[in-house]
């Protein structure tokens, strides 16, 4: 299984700034042998308006495109919605679903998250399911809450691979990520839930929440990769994480 590195730009960049960044990371990906070989799988989630801009830069680099959200509805009279069908037609292959900001600010209840997950899978988009506890708590309790959130998101979902992004809400935007031992406990529980579901073959568990260079080397095999936010705005930091992902992929392949 490939090591996964994802990036969400949220709404930080305008289109002009985003184009510069796309060009920079495209060059980095082309120069990374593990990305070229598929040992490291990379996806980037720009804003909706930036998706076509991004595609022009990243085609042929090994970088896949993601959307930061997806409609729960099929095409129809749903003003302002962007459907999974249209995203798939636009070359998007991943859809971020259930991020803490959307749950807190924009009404993404567990039922909405489940509907969006099902819509993405119906149109062969890989959901990037964001889960994690709101308040800091012990790792065992965090693991139980995260597994419950995962189960709710996948209720009645069609079969298909998912990327589960464990992002404890208290760690998002914090000076430091969650401690490695905490992440390991939660990630193992989430991995166990995925492995017990035959419909989720090939799924990955990644960590997000103040993730940046140096973290993947510390987490090692406890996760399948990272989901990056603001730290990836610096192309050098993005390159450093890809190098760590390549090292992890090489260690796994040598066993």
Cα(202)–Cα(74) distance, integer angstroms: 26
Nearest to 89 by CA among 65, 73, 112, 68: 65
What count of other Cβ atoms lies within 10 Å of the Cβ of residue 128? 28
CA angle 34, 209, 240 (to 5 degrees): 30
Nearest to 225 by CA among 253, 247, 252, 205: 205
Q: Catalytic residue numbers?
A: 99, 167
- Residue 112 makes CB contacts below 8 A (sequence gap 6+) with 72
DSSP state of 230: G
219: enclosing H helix or E strand = helix 215-219
Cα(29)–Cα(61) distance, integer angstroms: 6
């Amino acid at each position: 299984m490939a090591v996964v590195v994802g990036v969400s730009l949220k709404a930080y960049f305008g289109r002009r700034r985003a184009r510069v960044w796309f060009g920079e990371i495209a060059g980095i990906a082309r120069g990374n042998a593990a990305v070229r070989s598929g040992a490291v799988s990379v996806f980037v989630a720009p804003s909706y308006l930036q998706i076509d801009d991004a595609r022009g830069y990243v085609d042929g680099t090994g970088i896949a495109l993601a959307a930061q959200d997806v409609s729960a509805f099929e095409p129809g009279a749903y003003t302002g919605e962007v459907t999974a069908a249209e995203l798939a037609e636009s070359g998007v292959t991943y859809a971020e679903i259930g991020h803490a900001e959307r749950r807190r600010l924009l009404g993404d209840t567990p039922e909405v998250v489940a509907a969006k997950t099902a819509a993405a899978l119906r149109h062969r988009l890989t959901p990037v399911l964001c889960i994690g506890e709101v308040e800091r708590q012990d790792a065992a309790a965090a693991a139980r809450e995260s597994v419950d959130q995962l189960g709710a998101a996948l209720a009645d979902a069609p079969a298909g691979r998912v990327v589960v992004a464990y992002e404890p809400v208290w760690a998002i935007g914090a000076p430091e990520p969650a401690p490695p031992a905490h992440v390991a406990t939660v990630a193992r529980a989430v991995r166990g839930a995925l492995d017990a579901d035959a419909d989720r073959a090939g799924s990955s568990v990644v960590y997000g929440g103040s993730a940046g260079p140096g973290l993947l080397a510390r987490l090692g095999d406890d996760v399948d990769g990272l989901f990056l936010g603001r730290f990836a705005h610096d192309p050098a930091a993005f390159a450093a994480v890809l190098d760590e992902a390549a090292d992890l992929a090489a260690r796994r392949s040598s066993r």
